[in-house]
Protein backbone atom coordinates (compact mmCIF):
# COMPACT_ATOMS: atom_id res chain seq x y z
CA UNK A 1 0.00 0.00 0.00
CA UNK A 2 1.28 3.46 -0.89
CA UNK A 3 2.65 5.61 1.91
CA UNK A 4 0.23 8.39 0.99
CA UNK A 5 -2.79 6.15 1.47
CA UNK A 6 -1.44 4.79 4.75
CA UNK A 7 -1.16 8.35 6.03
CA UNK A 8 -4.68 9.11 4.82
CA UNK A 9 -6.13 6.06 6.59
CA UNK A 10 -4.27 7.05 9.75
CA UNK A 11 -5.66 10.60 9.43
CA UNK A 12 -9.20 9.25 9.04
CA UNK A 13 -8.91 7.01 12.10
CA UNK A 14 -7.33 9.83 14.10
CA UNK A 15 -10.29 12.03 13.21
CA UNK A 16 -12.76 9.33 14.22
CA UNK A 17 -11.10 8.89 17.61
CA UNK A 18 -10.96 12.63 18.26
CA UNK A 19 -14.58 13.19 17.25
CA UNK A 20 -15.64 10.28 19.43
CA UNK A 21 -13.75 11.79 22.34
CA UNK A 22 -15.39 15.17 21.74
CA UNK A 23 -18.70 13.82 23.03
CA UNK A 24 -17.00 12.74 26.25
CA UNK A 25 -15.32 16.13 26.81
CA UNK A 26 -18.50 18.06 25.96
CA UNK A 27 -20.58 15.84 28.23
CA UNK A 28 -18.07 16.44 31.05
CA UNK A 29 -18.49 20.22 30.70
CA UNK A 30 -22.28 19.92 30.64
CA UNK A 31 -22.23 17.81 33.80
CA UNK A 32 -20.21 20.57 35.51
CA UNK A 33 -22.95 23.07 34.65
CA UNK A 34 -20.87 24.95 32.05
CA UNK A 35 -23.39 26.37 29.55
CA UNK A 36 -23.31 25.47 25.88
CA UNK A 37 -23.21 29.19 25.08
CA UNK A 38 -19.82 29.48 26.80
CA UNK A 39 -17.66 26.53 25.85
CA UNK A 40 -18.84 26.14 22.23
CA UNK A 41 -18.00 29.77 21.25
CA UNK A 42 -14.68 29.57 23.12
CA UNK A 43 -13.86 26.26 21.43
CA UNK A 44 -14.69 27.75 18.01
CA UNK A 45 -12.61 30.90 18.48
CA UNK A 46 -9.60 29.00 19.84
CA UNK A 47 -9.70 26.57 16.90
CA UNK A 48 -9.81 29.42 14.39
CA UNK A 49 -6.89 31.22 16.04
CA UNK A 50 -4.81 28.05 16.23
CA UNK A 51 -5.38 27.39 12.52
CA UNK A 52 -4.54 31.03 11.67
CA UNK A 53 -1.20 30.59 13.45
CA UNK A 54 -0.59 27.32 11.60
CA UNK A 55 -1.38 28.82 8.20
CA UNK A 56 0.79 31.85 8.96
CA UNK A 57 3.74 29.67 9.96
CA UNK A 58 3.38 27.43 6.87
CA UNK A 59 3.00 30.36 4.47
CA UNK A 60 -0.52 29.52 3.29
CA UNK A 61 -2.32 32.17 1.22
CA UNK A 62 -5.29 33.31 3.32
CA UNK A 63 -6.66 36.06 1.06
CA UNK A 64 -10.31 35.68 0.03
CA UNK A 65 -10.21 36.30 -3.70
CA UNK A 66 -13.69 37.64 -4.48
CA UNK A 67 -17.13 38.47 -3.06
CA UNK A 68 -18.64 35.23 -4.28
CA UNK A 69 -16.11 33.23 -2.27
CA UNK A 70 -16.75 35.50 0.73
CA UNK A 71 -20.47 34.67 0.55
CA UNK A 72 -19.65 30.96 0.38
CA UNK A 73 -17.46 31.24 3.47
CA UNK A 74 -20.24 33.11 5.31
CA UNK A 75 -22.81 30.42 4.49
CA UNK A 76 -20.30 27.65 5.18
CA UNK A 77 -19.55 28.96 8.67
CA UNK A 78 -23.28 29.44 9.33
CA UNK A 79 -23.93 25.75 8.64
CA UNK A 80 -20.71 24.57 10.26
CA UNK A 81 -19.79 25.33 12.99
CA UNK A 82 -22.65 27.60 14.15
CA UNK A 83 -25.85 25.63 13.50
CA UNK A 84 -24.08 22.28 13.72
CA UNK A 85 -22.32 22.79 17.06
CA UNK A 86 -25.31 24.47 18.74
CA UNK A 87 -27.66 21.69 17.62
CA UNK A 88 -25.16 18.93 18.43
CA UNK A 89 -24.42 20.23 21.92
CA UNK A 90 -28.06 20.96 22.83
CA UNK A 91 -28.95 17.52 21.47
CA UNK A 92 -26.32 15.97 23.74
CA UNK A 93 -27.63 17.98 26.68
CA UNK A 94 -31.25 16.86 26.14
CA UNK A 95 -30.59 13.20 25.29
CA UNK A 96 -27.98 12.92 28.08
CA UNK A 97 -26.17 10.24 26.06
CA UNK A 98 -22.85 10.63 24.18
CA UNK A 99 -23.50 7.25 22.49
CA UNK A 100 -26.90 8.14 21.05
CA UNK A 101 -25.66 11.58 20.04
CA UNK A 102 -22.70 10.16 18.10
CA UNK A 103 -24.89 7.53 16.41
CA UNK A 104 -27.39 10.08 15.13
CA UNK A 105 -24.60 12.40 13.95
CA UNK A 106 -23.04 9.42 12.16
CA UNK A 107 -26.13 9.13 9.96
CA UNK A 108 -25.04 12.16 7.94
CA UNK A 109 -23.79 9.96 5.04
CA UNK A 110 -27.40 8.78 4.63
CA UNK A 111 -28.68 12.33 4.27
CA UNK A 112 -25.80 13.10 1.90
CA UNK A 113 -26.88 10.14 -0.21
CA UNK A 114 -30.52 11.26 -0.22
CA UNK A 115 -29.45 14.77 -1.24
CA UNK A 116 -27.46 13.27 -4.09
CA UNK A 117 -30.46 11.23 -5.23
CA UNK A 118 -33.13 13.94 -5.15
CA UNK A 119 -31.12 17.13 -5.73
CA UNK A 120 -28.11 16.11 -7.81
CA UNK A 121 -29.82 13.09 -9.47
CA UNK A 122 -27.02 10.71 -8.55
CA UNK A 123 -27.70 6.99 -8.89
CA UNK A 124 -27.47 4.51 -6.03
CA UNK A 125 -27.92 0.75 -5.96
CA UNK A 126 -30.46 -1.36 -4.02
CA UNK A 127 -27.79 -2.12 -1.39
CA UNK A 128 -27.46 1.60 -0.65
CA UNK A 129 -31.22 1.97 -0.19
CA UNK A 130 -31.30 -1.11 2.04
CA UNK A 131 -28.59 0.46 4.16
CA UNK A 132 -30.86 3.43 4.91
CA UNK A 133 -33.59 1.20 6.37
CA UNK A 134 -31.07 -0.91 8.31
CA UNK A 135 -29.55 2.22 9.84
CA UNK A 136 -32.98 3.54 10.84
CA UNK A 137 -33.69 0.17 12.47
CA UNK A 138 -30.45 0.42 14.43
CA UNK A 139 -31.34 3.93 15.56
CA UNK A 140 -34.73 2.71 16.76
CA UNK A 141 -33.14 -0.11 18.78
CA UNK A 142 -30.73 2.26 20.52
CA UNK A 143 -33.28 4.97 21.31
CA UNK A 144 -36.05 2.54 22.26
CA UNK A 145 -33.83 0.69 24.73
CA UNK A 146 -32.40 3.82 26.34
CA UNK A 147 -33.06 3.35 30.03
CA UNK A 148 -32.80 6.99 31.17
CA UNK A 149 -35.15 8.81 28.82
CA UNK A 150 -35.99 12.25 30.20
CA UNK A 151 -38.78 14.64 29.29
CA UNK A 152 -36.59 16.37 26.67
CA UNK A 153 -35.09 13.19 25.17
CA UNK A 154 -37.02 13.20 21.90
CA UNK A 155 -36.58 16.95 21.54
CA UNK A 156 -32.85 16.28 21.75
CA UNK A 157 -33.11 13.61 19.06
CA UNK A 158 -34.89 16.07 16.75
CA UNK A 159 -32.27 18.75 17.38
CA UNK A 160 -29.49 16.28 16.55
CA UNK A 161 -31.02 15.69 13.13
CA UNK A 162 -30.88 19.46 12.56
CA UNK A 163 -27.14 19.14 13.19
CA UNK A 164 -26.93 16.34 10.64
CA UNK A 165 -28.74 18.38 7.97
CA UNK A 166 -26.51 21.41 8.59
CA UNK A 167 -23.42 19.23 8.20
CA UNK A 168 -24.66 17.88 4.88
CA UNK A 169 -25.49 21.41 3.70
CA UNK A 170 -21.93 22.62 4.21
CA UNK A 171 -20.51 19.92 1.92
CA UNK A 172 -21.46 21.83 -1.23
CA UNK A 173 -19.75 25.03 -0.03
CA UNK A 174 -16.61 23.16 1.02
CA UNK A 175 -16.47 21.35 -2.32
CA UNK A 176 -16.79 24.57 -4.32
CA UNK A 177 -14.03 26.27 -2.30
CA UNK A 178 -11.59 23.34 -2.18
CA UNK A 179 -10.25 23.93 -5.69
CA UNK A 180 -9.08 27.43 -4.74
CA UNK A 181 -8.20 27.26 -1.04
CA UNK A 182 -6.25 24.76 1.06
CA UNK A 183 -8.21 22.62 3.57
CA UNK A 184 -6.60 24.33 6.57
CA UNK A 185 -7.55 27.77 5.24
CA UNK A 186 -11.15 26.72 4.60
CA UNK A 187 -11.45 25.28 8.11
CA UNK A 188 -9.78 28.38 9.58
CA UNK A 189 -12.38 30.70 8.07
CA UNK A 190 -15.14 28.31 9.14
CA UNK A 191 -14.18 28.72 12.78
CA UNK A 192 -13.16 32.40 12.75
CA UNK A 193 -16.43 33.44 11.09
CA UNK A 194 -18.30 30.95 13.22
CA UNK A 195 -16.92 32.69 16.31
CA UNK A 196 -18.59 35.91 15.11
CA UNK A 197 -21.94 34.10 14.94
CA UNK A 198 -21.40 32.76 18.44
CA UNK A 199 -20.44 36.15 19.95
CA UNK A 200 -24.00 37.20 20.95
CA UNK A 201 -24.56 33.87 22.71
CA UNK A 202 -21.24 34.11 24.53
CA UNK A 203 -21.79 37.71 25.67
CA UNK A 204 -25.30 37.02 26.97
CA UNK A 205 -26.09 33.52 28.17
CA UNK A 206 -22.48 32.34 28.05
CA UNK A 207 -21.14 34.64 30.75
CA UNK A 208 -24.36 35.26 32.65
CA UNK A 209 -23.29 33.00 35.49
CA UNK A 210 -19.55 33.42 34.98
CA UNK A 211 -17.53 32.36 38.01
CA UNK A 212 -13.78 32.77 37.55
CA UNK A 213 -13.08 30.13 40.17
CA UNK A 214 -14.98 27.58 38.10
CA UNK A 215 -14.70 28.71 34.49
CA UNK A 216 -10.95 29.36 34.72
CA UNK A 217 -10.22 26.15 36.60
CA UNK A 218 -8.22 23.38 34.98
CA UNK A 219 -11.30 21.13 35.08
CA UNK A 220 -12.94 23.49 32.56
CA UNK A 221 -9.87 24.68 30.66
CA UNK A 222 -8.65 21.15 29.92
CA UNK A 223 -11.75 19.80 28.09
CA UNK A 224 -12.39 23.17 26.38
CA UNK A 225 -8.82 23.41 25.09
CA UNK A 226 -8.93 19.74 24.07
CA UNK A 227 -12.11 20.34 22.07
CA UNK A 228 -10.53 23.31 20.31
CA UNK A 229 -7.08 21.89 19.63
CA UNK A 230 -7.84 18.22 18.99
CA UNK A 231 -11.52 17.89 18.03
CA UNK A 232 -11.76 21.06 15.93
CA UNK A 233 -8.41 22.26 14.57
CA UNK A 234 -6.66 18.90 14.30
CA UNK A 235 -9.64 16.66 13.51
CA UNK A 236 -11.14 18.83 10.76
CA UNK A 237 -7.77 19.34 9.10
CA UNK A 238 -6.88 15.63 9.18
CA UNK A 239 -10.36 14.80 7.88
CA UNK A 240 -9.89 17.18 4.95
CA UNK A 241 -6.55 15.51 4.20
CA UNK A 242 -8.16 12.05 4.22
CA UNK A 243 -10.90 13.21 1.85
CA UNK A 244 -8.30 14.70 -0.48
CA UNK A 245 -6.39 11.41 -0.75
CA UNK A 246 -9.11 8.76 -0.39
CA UNK A 247 -12.13 10.61 -1.74
CA UNK A 248 -15.44 11.47 -0.08
CA UNK A 249 -17.11 8.06 -0.40
CA UNK A 250 -14.29 5.98 1.06
CA UNK A 251 -13.55 8.47 3.83
CA UNK A 252 -17.16 8.85 4.95
CA UNK A 253 -17.34 5.11 5.72
CA UNK A 254 -15.13 5.85 8.74
CA UNK A 255 -17.99 7.83 10.27
CA UNK A 256 -19.73 4.54 10.99
CA UNK A 257 -16.97 3.76 13.49
CA UNK A 258 -17.59 6.91 15.57
CA UNK A 259 -20.56 5.53 17.59
CA UNK A 260 -18.67 2.38 18.53
CA UNK A 261 -15.59 4.33 19.64
CA UNK A 262 -17.80 6.76 21.57
CA UNK A 263 -19.70 3.93 23.25
CA UNK A 264 -16.49 2.21 24.32
CA UNK A 265 -14.98 5.46 25.60
CA UNK A 266 -18.20 6.42 27.42
CA UNK A 267 -18.23 3.07 29.23
CA UNK A 268 -14.50 3.19 30.01
CA UNK A 269 -14.85 6.69 31.46
CA UNK A 270 -17.98 5.69 33.37
CA UNK A 271 -20.23 8.19 31.59
CA UNK A 272 -22.94 5.62 30.90
CA UNK A 273 -23.75 1.95 30.67
CA UNK A 274 -25.06 0.10 27.63
CA UNK A 275 -27.79 -2.52 27.52
CA UNK A 276 -27.38 -5.57 25.23
CA UNK A 277 -30.13 -4.23 22.95
CA UNK A 278 -28.26 -0.94 22.62
CA UNK A 279 -25.09 -2.75 21.54
CA UNK A 280 -27.17 -4.62 18.96
CA UNK A 281 -28.63 -1.33 17.77
CA UNK A 282 -25.17 0.19 17.46
CA UNK A 283 -23.96 -2.77 15.43
CA UNK A 284 -27.03 -2.73 13.16
CA UNK A 285 -26.75 1.04 12.69
CA UNK A 286 -23.08 0.90 11.72
CA UNK A 287 -23.70 -1.92 9.24
CA UNK A 288 -26.48 0.13 7.68
CA UNK A 289 -24.31 3.24 7.36
CA UNK A 290 -21.57 1.15 5.77
CA UNK A 291 -24.01 -0.28 3.20
CA UNK A 292 -25.15 3.20 2.19
CA UNK A 293 -21.55 3.94 1.19
CA UNK A 294 -21.03 0.86 -0.95
CA UNK A 295 -20.52 1.76 -4.58
CA UNK A 296 -23.18 0.27 -6.87
CA UNK A 297 -21.92 -2.58 -9.04
CA UNK A 298 -22.00 -1.59 -12.68
CA UNK A 299 -22.55 -4.19 -15.31
CA UNK A 300 -20.71 -3.58 -18.53
CA UNK A 301 -22.87 -4.57 -21.50
Q: How far is residue 175's CA from residue 112's CA, in Å, rounded to a whole number? A: 13
Burial tier of 289 (Cβ tally within 10 Å: 0-12, 13-18, 19+) = buried
The answer on pLDDT for 195 being more than 90 is yes
Which residues fall within 8 angstroms of residue 163, CB to CB, at 6 or more apart? 83, 84, 85, 87, 88, 91, 105
Q: How many residues does the chain have?
A: 301
| Average pLDDT score over residue span 135-162 | 74
Percent of the chain with pLDDT over 70: 81
Q: How far is residue 283's CA from residue 143's CA, in Å, rounded to a whole number? A: 13
- 50-99: pLDDT as tens digits: 999 999 999 999 999 999 999 999 999 999 889 988 898 888 888 877 76
Q: How sure is the predictor about 47, in pLDDT bands with cuts at 50, 70 and 90? A: very high
Cα angle 206, 210, 215; round to 5: 95
Q: How sure is the predictor about 301, in pLDDT bands with cuts at 50, 70 and 90? A: very low
| Average pLDDT score over residue span 103-107 | 75
Cα angle 205, 207, 208; round to 5: 60
- 235-252: pLDDT as tens digits: 988 887 887 777 665 676
pTM: 0.75
The answer on pLDDT for 125 being more than 70 is yes
Amino acid sequence: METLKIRAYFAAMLTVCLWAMSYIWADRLLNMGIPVEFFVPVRTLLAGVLLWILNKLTGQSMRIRNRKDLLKFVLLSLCMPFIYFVAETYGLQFTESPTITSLIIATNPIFAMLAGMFIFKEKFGPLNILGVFITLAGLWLVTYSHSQTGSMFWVGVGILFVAVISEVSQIAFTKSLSSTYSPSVIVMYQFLMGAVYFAPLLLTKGIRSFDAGVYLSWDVIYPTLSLALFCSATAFTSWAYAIKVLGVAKTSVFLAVVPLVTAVLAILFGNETALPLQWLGLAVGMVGIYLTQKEPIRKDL
